[in-house]
Amino acid sequence: MNIQRFYLAFVALAVITIGCKQKAAYTDWKVMGGSKDGIHYSSLSQIDTGNVAKLTIAWTYHTKDMDTAHPAQIQCNPIIIDGVLYGTTPQMKLFAVDAATGQQKWVYNPFDTSTIKGAPSYYFMLNTCRGITYWSDGKDAKRIFFTAGSFLNCVNADNGQPDKSFGTDGKIDLHDNLGRDVKNLYVTSTSAGMIYKDLIIIGTRVDEGANAAPGHIRAFDVHTGQLKWIFHTIPQPGEYGFDTWEDTTAYKHIGGANSWSGFSLDEDRGIVFAPTGSASFDFYGGKRKGSTLFANCVLALDAATGKRIWHFQTIHHDVWDKDVPTPPILVTVTHDGKKTDAVAQTTKTGFVFLFDRATGQPLFPVEEKPVSTETELAGEKLWPTQPVPTKPAPFVRHSFTQPDINPFLPDSSRKDIAAKLAKYKTGNMFNPPSKEGTVILPGFDGGAEWGGPAFDPATGILYVNANEMAWVLTMIEVKNEAPKQETWLDAGQRLYKQTCMACHGPECKGAGNVPTLIGINKKYNEQQFLQLITGGRRMMPAFKQLTEEEQHSIASFILDIKSNQHQAFTQKPQPVDTFLHLPYTITGYNKFLSKEGYNAMSPPWGTLNAIDLNKGEILWKVPLGEYAEFKDKAGVTGTENYGGPVVTAGGVIFIAATRDGKIRAFNKTNGKLLWEADLPAPGFATPAVYQQNGKEYLVIACGGGKLGTKSGDAYVAFALP
């Protein structure tokens, strides 16, 4: 009898202990995305569907370093450690504030010119930062890692001072240890590294043109900064995947295939999961023939050694810029009647791929669908099939034809769009790039984007926001032979076509999220412009490979410096590197817009979607964001959006992301809008949810600066009164 009572008591204690562990999970926000499995979930429930409408601003922190001359952004998902919130500013400073009050504790400026002497221009490059990394030894050592410019910085979390035991004076140059000389190429990191034991695993953002550094994934010792392992995303001789490249010397020249959006980690299994982008150049593959592993892949790597465990390629021989845009999330689903640990990957194409976590086998069948291989681009060799999952259905449209034209535009605009659409290749997501123009839908920014999805482990439902914007990709031939005699103006126009036109367009007008260069001479003098060319800025890569005379020539053209334009260009023609000088480029990143600047397609233009991963079914879809000018005749249209959602045990989905500058709360069961609030600038970031002193907080970075919106410098926290 006593034994039986003891057994029952033991079972009861075990149940209570397990329940406490489950309840304690997901209560903090110590890594980018909330947890190392990347699911954007909080088990906090103080804020719920019944009281969320009562949320008010608890505190606002202004970084006070917004760039008023140029569009600035804050895309950082902050982290909260021991009552302190850490984030980054528009000028790439790292800060710490009290998580309950927003009161500043310290600020670290990685570009402090008083402590930097003789640094290269790229040192001061303002990159985008979407997350930072915390590490502690559990005792006295507490460090924050973040990338500013091309340097991974290590900062003492208590006082904001560089930890000089790491690397050189507290930093390491990400140009180093890539196996090639890339000192003159663009290398930075836009997302948080991942901590595994005493390693920090880092991906990079590189140029998307032909002059790109390789996107190899690396792990560094958190104590010293010493390189511990490297995974070659562009395989070298003898490595798995090398035979997927037709040119056996491609690894010496081709760049990209980089993991720019961050990682997820199965700590128990010791597996780090990495998404990769396309190989460079994005839109012409004539110099990188083959299926080209490990571009456009979901990678499962041994976190201790960097060895490949499994991979899945979501696009073969990508010529549409369909990078895997966000870390895969680690989920547990009910599949074929049993609990299965899985990996879910949202994509720009609007597909969700679901894999067994240990083996990489798709849980729902994936079919290799035949696609067109006909191309008018000399030297190109397209792949004959592309992978399409049978479930879930895509959460965005894949086709733009005449019936899909925006019905809320004036008749003249609709006719103009119809005439253009009739000339373009359209109706198929995998239509090849063309000289007449190919409609890219989903667009270059998705579908899903870098904000990533949220997942509710209690229900198996995934929540993902999406863009519904068509873009137009137009290829143009480039003549690479330099004339024997040129002026600086002639050379500047030639070099602009080779290095700048792909983003800023043939008329320097910019498009999409790329700014116009018209009138730039009112913002930059020649010296400032040359610093911009060699250092880069945010999403603009540096062009350090250009000689001094080439830089001055481009400046004379873009800044219209007439006193320089007739000067003779004296540089002798350089040998043509066939990998760098491609026969084609693009006319810019052009959204398919009406004359008034509105989406050419019918709404919705942005959505929030709920997908049951157990069954592979879309449960509901609601528009996300609105245009006030369309609301009376079109209702809630949705807008383009950047940043992701968070889902909580309180039954609420929180998301900002939209160009209308609001943050919203939706009922996670049915998508009903429960609350919205105006932000000081659009929150193009993912919120964080945490508790402090018994109170639950929701915080969002309000940086704006995209989609023509005003810039901001605020982090705003909400709580119940």
- pLDDT tens by residue, 344-355: 999 999 999 999
Radius of gyration of the chain (CA): 25
**First-to-last CA distance in the chain?**
53
CB atoms within 10 A of CB 520: 16
* Percent of the chain with pLDDT strictly greater than 90: 77
- Give tens-digit pLDDT for 263-286: 999 999 999 999 999 999 999 999
* Cβ atoms within 10 Å, residue 62: 16
Q: Which residue do the tokens 């033991």 mark?
A: 10
Q: In sequence order, what are the residues at sequence separation of 6 or more whose Cβ sits closer than 8 angstroms to the Cβ of residue 218?
A: 177, 201, 202, 227, 229, 230, 231, 306
CATH number at residue 517: 1.10.760.10
Kindly report the number of other CB atoms within 10 A of residue 118's CB atom: 5
CB contact set of 313 (below 8 Å; sequence gap of 6+)? 291, 293, 294, 295, 296, 297, 387
Decide if 516 is inside a domain: yes
Which of 176, 261, 251, 271 shows the shortest CA–CA distance to 220?
A: 176
CA–CA distance, 34 with 646 (Å, rounded to integer): 9
The two three-digit tokens of residue 76, written as one number: 């950082």
Average pLDDT over residues 623-649: 96
For 541-556, the pLDDT digits (tens) are 767 778 887 888 888 7
| Bond before 220 cis per omega within 30 degrees | no
Evaluate whether 447 touches 605 at the Cβ level (below 8 Å): no
pLDDT at 576: 62
pLDDT reported for residue 122: 53
Average pLDDT, the chain: 91
Q: For residue 114, what pLDDT is reported?
A: 59
Question: Do residues 662 and 656 touch, judged by C-beta distance below 8 A?
Answer: yes
CB 106 within 8 A of CB 96: yes
Q: What is the pLDDT of residues 87-106, one digit of tens each?
A: 999 999 999 999 999 999 99
Q: Does the residue 569 lie in any domain?
A: yes
Determine how β-strand 41-42 pairs with β-strand 646-648: parallel
Q: Say if CB 515 and CB 71 are below 8 A apart.
A: yes
Q: H or E stretch including 87?
A: strand 84-88
489: domain range? 481-575
For residues 336 and 324, give the distance between their C-alpha atoms in angstroms, rounded to a whole number. 27
C-alpha dihedral (493, 496, 498, 501), degrees to nearest 10: -120
Residue 319 CA to its chain's centroid (Å): 18
Residues whose CB is less than 8 angstroms from the CB of residue 101 and which lie 6 or more positions away in sequence, other chains included: 59
CB 300 within 8 A of CB 309: yes
Question: For 335-394, how does the pLDDT look when each residue is reduced to its tens digit (9 = 90+)?
Answer: 999 999 999 999 999 999 999 999 999 999 999 999 999 999 999 999 999 999 999 999
CA dist 113 → 167, 374, 384, 491 (Å): 20, 54, 53, 34
CA 328, CA 297: separation in Å to the nearest integer? 11
Instruction: Decide if 528 is inside a domain.
Output: yes
Residues with Cβ within 8 Å of residue 439, at least 6 apart in sequence = 400, 421, 424, 425, 426, 427, 431, 470, 471, 472, 473, 592
Residue 123's pLDDT band (cuts 50, 70, 90): low
- Tell me which of 582 and 3 has the higher pLDDT: 582
- Of 396, 359, 361, 191, nearest in space to 276 by CA: 191
**Are the beta carbons of 363 and 335 closer than 8 angstroms?**
yes
Residue 350 lies in a domain: no
Asked if residues 254 and 279 have their Cβ atoms less than 8 Å apart, the reply is: yes
Cis preceding linkage at 407, omega within 30: no
CA dist 564 and 547 (Å) reads 16
How many Cα atoms occupy the beta-carbon half-sphere of 356 within 13 Å? 13
Q: Which two tokens stand for residue 588?
A: 């810019």
Number of compact structural domains in the chain: 1
Nearest to 218 by CA among 230, 206, 228: 230
Residue 454 pLDDT level (bands cut at 50, 70, 90): very high
Amino acid occupying residue 209: G
Residue 277 lies in a domain: no
Q: Cβ neighbours of residue 706 under 8 Å, at least 6 residues apart?
A: 71, 73, 513, 642, 659, 682, 684
Mapping DSSP onto H, E and C, the string for 290-352 reads ECCCCCCEEEEEECCCCCEEEEEECCCCCCCCCCCCCCCEEEEEEECCEEEEEEEEECCCCCE
Per-residue confidence (pLDDT) for residue 556, from 0 to 100: 79
Q: CA–CA separation, 14 vs 623, rounded Å?
A: 45
Q: Do 649 and 40 form a contact (C-beta atoms < 8 A)?
A: no
Summarize pLDDT for 4-53 with one digit per residue, the tens: 443 334 333 333 333 344 444 899 999 999 999 999 999 999 999 999 99
Q: Which two tokens stand for residue 363?
A: 């849980």
CA dist 105 to 135, 245, 412, Å?
A: 19, 51, 57
Residue 553 maps to a domain? yes
Are 183 and 236 within 8 A, CB to CB? no
| Global pTM exceeds 0.75 | yes
What are phi and psi for residue 224, nearest 5 degrees?
-115, -20
Q: How many helices (H) and strands (E) does the chain have?
A: 8, 43
pLDDT at 1 over 60: no
- In the three-class reduction of DSSP (H, G, I as helix; E, B as strand; rest coil), residue 550 is classed as helix
| The predicted structure's pLDDT at residue 537 | 65
Average pLDDT of the residues in 448-461: 98
Distance CA 658, CA 442 (A): 18
Lookup: tokens for 665: 């709360």
| pLDDT over 80 at 540, yes or no | no
Question: Alpha-carbon distance 113 to 683, whole Å?
Answer: 30
**Is 137 part of a structural domain of the chain?**
no
Contact 680, 659 (CB under 8 A): no
The verdict on residue 499 lying in a domain is: yes
Residue 117: the pLDDT is 55
CB–CB of 609/650 below 8 Å?
no
| Distance from C-alpha of 429 to C-alpha of 449, rounded to nearest angstrom | 17
Q: CB count, 10 Å around CB of 324?
A: 31
